Structure 1
């Protein structure tokens, strides 16, 4: 499965990057391809391209704030959770994404 997503927390530091790492680790352990864009205090890093989004089976938004350019995910299966959920339960979240994609 190909996953793309965005992480962003209210402060834009710790939780943004912790959520990114936890999601990447869980997805890779499940055999999935994943690319996560971060929107933190230093701006957008690891920006998703149009090709990344077009090729994705699902989009995960682990965000606590409004993010930039959310409309680019229109027409995709999108799952929105808090950064806290992504940090505390990344494996369950990846399992849930598999369920959503298989429907």
Structure 2
């Protein structure tokens, strides 16, 4: 009887995991994932801005100036959302890769 119960339980668990996996894949299939990363793959410069408290922002851009501006905008937005200090955002890293 124990063997039969264990098989029923493992069968139920496998079906449950399969259903969750399919639901997660279905939820992501409608999103255009390449659109989110296309800017970072084509851009060669990046910058990171951080506030004194809260979350900062990382951004990619075609030029160093564009990457800095985007990262500052992201820092201000994310610091405000996370309860930080948006007015203290500063670019702490900015580079272009070759």
Bucket of the pairwise TM-score, normalised by the shorter protein = under 0.3
Name the TM-score, length of structure 1 as normaliser: 0.23
Mark the structure with the bigger radius of gyration: 2
Name the TM-score, length of structure 2 as normaliser: 0.24
The answer to which structure has the higher helix fraction is 2
